[in-house]
Amino acid sequence: MKRQVKVPLVGREVPIIGDEYVDMEFGTGCLKVTPAHDMNDFELGKKHGLESIEIFHADARLNEQGMQFEGQDRFHVRKAMLPILEKEGVLEKVEDYNNKMIKPPYEQVDMEEEISKAEKDLEYFRGFLKSAEKKLGNERFVSGAPKEVVENERKKAADAMEKIAMLEDKLNKMKS
């Protein structure tokens, strides 16, 4: 699509992408992708080469990426942003909707559950990486498979290593 949109409050430009993952029947048919905060968004971000920016501490307070909201709880920030967005003329409306998440967004973070989920994700990506490394360590595979297949396997391994590092960092923060 090659078009961009400016993120209010931070002024960062992000690409507009098209993808079959988006449910065109839900809301506007548009989806805000947040690769650092959701596994599905992470995969979508990798597919489209999107930057992954972590804005939360493990306890759901905003980090330095949250700029003027640094250190504040996400629920407080959601409310505090509204008058600013209205003043800037970029807020059309606010409406309630049923989120498809299993856990409603208004619930407090259950750290044990979050740690368990991150550990499961980490285990998955370590297994994925091990499988890719096994293929790449097989000389018959590397020399016999088409170059695109080998390069795709290398990319998968690199993506898995990146996600492992991100998850390990997230777990360290949650456990500290």
With CA atoms as reference, report the closest residue to 109 among 60, 55, 49.
Answer: 60
Domains of the chain: which residue ranges? 1-53, 58-93, 111-175
The mean pLDDT of 144-150, rounded to a whole number, is 90
- The correct CATH number of 1-53 out of 3.90.740.10, 3.40.1010.10, 1.10.10.10, 3.30.70.141 is 3.90.740.10
CA of 72: how far to CAs of 11, 36, 69, 88, in Å?
A: 20, 19, 6, 21
Average pLDDT, rounded, for the chain: 82
Decide which of 38 and 126 is more confident: 126
How sure is the predictor about 31, in pLDDT bands with cuts at 50, 70 and 90?
A: confident
Class at the top of the CATH hierarchy for domain 111-175: mainly alpha
Identical fold at 1-53 and 111-175?
A: no
Whether the predicted pLDDT of 96 surpasses 50: yes
Whether the predicted pLDDT of 138 surpasses 90: yes
Decide which of 139 and 30 is more confident: 139
Whether the predicted pLDDT of 101 surpasses 90: no
Q: Over the Cα atoms of the chain, what is R_g? A: 19
72, 62 Cβ separation under 8 angstroms? yes
Q: Which of 60-69, 86-95, 104-113, 120-129 has the lowest mean pLDDT?
A: 104-113
How sure is the predictor about 110, in pLDDT bands with cuts at 50, 70 and 90?
A: low
Residue 104: what pLDDT? 46
The mean pLDDT of 116-132, rounded to a whole number, is 88
Tell me how far apart the 2 most distant CA atoms of the chain are, in Å.
Answer: 62
